[in-house]
Chain A
Amino acid sequence: EVQLVQSGAEVKKPGESLKISCKGSGYSFTSYWIGWVRQMPGKGLEWMGIIYPGDSDTRYSPSFQGQVTISADKSISTAYLQWSSLKASDTAMYYCVRPSIRGDAFDIWGQGTMVTVSS
């Protein structure tokens, strides 16, 4: 079964750093892009960025460029989303997603990781 399994919920303070993970299984991890989608409480979906684990080619939405870092470790089939200094406005559910082999539609979603940033 193809699946993406994300790390657990996090509660952090403003200014702290954080790295959440997404482990792919059931498919060739290096052959598919893997991306991240943010959903703030009660709001819609926002595409953040995406990485191709095969060669680490990474693209960001202009809205998130410089705000987060996306990386991947193909040796353990895991993608990461990282913040160096969290803000309260980073409080959201974060989903990792895998587009189809054509790269067009997100046919596989992780279960989501809730990040809460509060003093």
Chain B
Amino acid sequence: DIQMTQSPSSLSASVGDRVTITCQASQDISNYLNWYQQKPGKAPKLLIYDASNLETGVPSRFSGSGSGTDFTFTISSLQPEDIATYYCQQYDNLPQYTFGQGTKLEIK
């Protein structure tokens, strides 16, 4: 099974900061990597698919990059409404999926 290691597990940043979350796969998964945002009490929401493609309607301050085993999710300028937990997800061998452990983002 492919394991996903996401870091950090929690993060505190100020409004306007650039925020970066990383996700590492236990083996090469090409660009088969998605990012989700989950706000408290809500279902998760797809933000980025295929490592770097922005889902329709998602603000451009969100971006993703990487391929192979190492991936990065970035918020270019943190907004108060971005407070949430973020998850990476791999799909190298459809239809099998694995989530990362999540990163809880808080405002400093």
Contacts and interface: CB of A to CB of B under 8 A. Distances in A.
Interface in B78-96: 85, 87, 89, 91, 94-96
B95 to A, nearest CB: 5
B91 to A, nearest CB: 5
A80 interface: no
B101 interface: yes
A33 B91 CA distance: 14
Interface string B65-108: 00000000000000000000101010100111111111000000
B95 A50 contact: yes
Contacts of B11: none
Nearest to A93: B43
25 contacts: A35-B95, A45-B87, A45-B102, A46-B99, A47-B89, A47-B96, A47-B99, A61-B96, A95-B43, A99-B95, A100-B49, A103-B94, A103-B95, A104-B32, A104-B34, A104-B91, A104-B94, A105-B49, A106-B36, A106-B46, A106-B89, A107-B49, A109-B43, A109-B44, A111-B43
A61 B89 CA distance: 14
Contacts, number: 64
A66 interface: no
B95 A109 contact: no
B49 A104 contact: yes
Contacts of B50: 104-105
A100 B95 CA distance: 12
Nearest to A61: B96
A81 to B, nearest CB: 15
B55 interface: yes
A12 B93 CA distance: 35
Given A47-B97, A104-B34, A112-B43, 18 more contacts: A35-B95, A44-B87, A44-B99, A44-B102, A45-B87, A46-B99, A62-B1, A95-B43, A99-B95, A100-B49, A103-B95, A104-B49, A104-B91, A104-B94, A105-B49, A105-B91, A106-B97, A110-B43
